[in-house]
Amino acid sequence: MERKEEQLMAKKRGRQENNVAYINAGVMLLTKTAQHVQSLLLFSAVLMLVFMGFNYYRSRGTAQVIMTLNYEQASEGLNPNNTRYNVSELESEEVLAQAISYAGLTDELTTQELAQAITVNAANSAGKSDDFINTSYRITVKNLDLGGKVSASGMLGLICKAYKEYFMTNYAENQAVLSFSTDSMDDGEYMSRIELMELRANQLLRYVNGRLKENRTYSNNGESFNDLEQKLQNFIDYDIENITAYVLEHGIAADKESYLSILSYKIRMSTLDYDQKMAVYQVDNEGIKKYNTDMGAIVMVPTRDENNGYYMSRTETEMDYLSKDAEEYLESAKEELTQINYSNYVIEQLESNHPTAAQEAKAEALLSSMSVYLSQLAESVQELDNAFNLYKTKNYITFKSNNEGLVNRLCVKKAAAATAVILVFILLVIYIRILRRLEKNDSGATGSKKETA
């Protein structure tokens, strides 16, 4: 019984001694900390600066923007021209090659290397259903080291620029009429080349007139659609007319015999069409004459208007349809007759005139210069139209920088937390060492007492 009490007393004394040791170690740690508080603060500041510097250096190769599609069809997953939208085209070789060209790094950076540094993710899909169609995307460039020549944010800006130009060119408007080859206008029969030039010029003119209906005041680099409309109209009214008159006046043809055969064939075909249309016109006229006059009277029928009110409306009779049909065939027949008369006039001019080599050379020179000029007009129209599309659709795609500010790039909170963790660890190590030293000293003192006893 006494032995158990002695054991309990010994354990109690041990716990008390341990508590005293812990307290003494804590007091000594606080004393040492107070003695070296300036050194600790300086160390903490240096350590925090090191962490912030590391964070800033790591963030230098990272940049981010939010791309938003703002046109109506975007919510349906379509481009403005109603084709399927595909965001992966932002990472296409064509777009990246253009961005690299803008950066002046064609010989130093490949499209594959740039593609590896880009990630594109949906920016607003959190919590959305599987069939939700994204209209905002987060574009990030990271781990891109260009040796200080172009920053990550600068490169990302060039990628966005190249993609927007690619998007506007391919999907904003249908510009197919502006792209055509002049090869067919550079050789072949003279009159055929002239007719093709006139066709192309009229196509361009219709396109420009369509733009004028949208905006009559827009200009770029001192040129407007009004200017181009006037140039194209002059080309048709003067250049085409003059070269046509010159070629016919002198009877110029690349292969006169062959061209005369083609014209004769066209006349025969047009004559057949003319005869058929006139026959239909005559039948319609006969039908109208034989139509019962009583049945041709105006027929009024009761009808409801948009407000659900009744009114008497005139309805067309069969004679009305016959009359319209007859007029259409007559107009079409007149067009055929005009073409027949013109072809006969061309044949007459070619057969009655025999050009000299100088006259043929002049006609060739005129046609060549006109072909070049028409190509230049087409390029001017396309250049102005591209600029107009960018102006008109500047908000189709918008890019908003999502780069972190200086404080966030330094990650001050993270740096402070990391510094605090290291300081606590260091102080804990010091505390443990002090505690062990005290325990060692206590053990030595206890041993001495026993020996003395």
Same domain for 390 and 341? no
Same domain for 73 and 18? no
Answer whether residue 348 is part of any domain: yes
Residue 293 has pLDDT above 50, yes or no: yes
Same domain for 68 and 22? no
Average the pLDDT over 383-412 and give the result. 73
CA–CA dist 384, 225 (Å, integer): 8
Of 30-34, 61-65, 184-188, 204-208, the range with the highest mean pLDDT is: 204-208
CB atoms within 10 A of CB 189: 17
Same domain for 347 and 290? yes
Answer whether residue 246 is part of any domain: yes
Single-letter amino acid, residue 280: V
Answer whether residue 400 is part of any domain: no
Name the pLDDT band for 340 (thresholds 50, 70, 90): very high
Same domain for 155 and 224? no
Same domain for 327 and 298? yes
Residue 292 has pLDDT above 80, yes or no: no
Average the pLDDT over 211-236 and give the result. 92
Q: Edge-to-edge strand order for the sheet containing 118-122?
A: 118-122, 136-141, 63-69, 397-401
Q: For the chain, what is the mean pLDDT?
A: 79
Answer whether residue 307 is part of any domain: yes
DSSP 35-55: HTHHHHHHHHHHHHHHHHHHH
Residue 406 has pLDDT above 90, yes or no: no
Instruction: Mean pLDDT check: name the lowest of 1-5, 46-50, 142-146, 159-163.
Output: 1-5
Strands (DSSP E) along 237-315, which ranges?
299-304, 310-315
Answer whether residue 222 is part of any domain: yes
Average the pLDDT over 317-321 and give the result. 63
Residue with tokens 């939010």: 66
CA–CA dist 167, 261 (Å, integer): 49
Q: What's the pLDDT score for residue 32?
A: 61
Which letter does DSSP use for residue 251 in this model?
T
pLDDT higher at 50 or 102: 102
| CATH number of the domain bearing residue 323 | 1.10.287
Q: What's the pLDDT score for residue 175?
A: 67
Residue with tokens 């949906």: 122
Average the pLDDT over 115-136 and give the result. 77
Q: What's the pLDDT score for residue 312?
A: 52
Same domain for 424 and 390? no
Q: What's the pLDDT score for residue 123?
A: 79
Q: What's the pLDDT score for residue 453?
A: 45
Answer whether residue 404 is part of any domain: no
Q: What's the pLDDT score for residue 133?
A: 84
Answer whether residue 90 is part of any domain: yes
Same domain for 335 and 193? no
pLDDT higher at 164 or 127: 164
Same domain for 333 and 257? yes
pTM for the whole structure: 0.54
Answer whether residue 47 is part of any domain: no
Q: What's the pLDDT score for residue 236?
A: 96
Q: What's the pLDDT score for residue 393?
A: 74
**56 neighbors 415 (Cβ within 8 angstroms):** no
Q: Which of 172, 204, 219 is at the close of a domain?
A: 172
Q: What's the pLDDT score for residue 449?
A: 46
Same domain for 360 and 350? no
Residue with tokens 């239909």: 280
Residue 217 has pLDDT above 70, yes or no: yes
pLDDT higher at 218 or 441: 218
Residue 305 has pLDDT above 90, yes or no: no
Residue 235 has pLDDT above 90, yes or no: yes
Same domain for 153 and 184? no
pLDDT higher at 170 or 352: 352
What are the CA-CA distances from residue 196 to residues 48, 180, 203, 303, 364 (Å)?
Answer: 76, 11, 11, 51, 15
Name the pLDDT band for 283 (thresholds 50, 70, 90): confident
Q: Which of 121, 140, 172 is at the close of a domain?
A: 172
Residue 310 has pLDDT above 60, yes or no: no
CA–CA dist 403, 151 (Å, integer): 12
For the segment 1-58, what is each residue's pLDDT rounded down to a tens digit? 555 555 555 555 555 555 555 566 556 656 666 666 666 667 767 777 766 666 555 5
Instruction: Mean pLDDT check: name the lowest of 111-125, 249-263, 402-416.
Output: 402-416
Into how many domains does the chain fold? 4
CA–CA dist 400, 67 (Å, integer): 7
For the segment 196-214, what is each residue's pLDDT rounded down to a tens digit? 999 999 999 999 999 999 8
Same domain for 278 and 155? no
pLDDT higher at 331 or 453: 331
Average the pLDDT over 255-277 and give the result. 92
Spell out the alpha helix ranges (H) of 36-179: 37-59, 93-103, 111-116, 152-167
Q: Which of 151, 172, 193 is at the close of a domain?
A: 172
Residues spanned by the domain of 444: 2-35+411-452
CB atoms within 10 A of CB 48: 19
CA–CA dist 72, 172 (Å, integer): 12
Average the pLDDT over 336-342 and give the result. 93
Spell out the alpha helix ranges (H) of 141-255: 152-167, 190-214, 225-234, 241-249
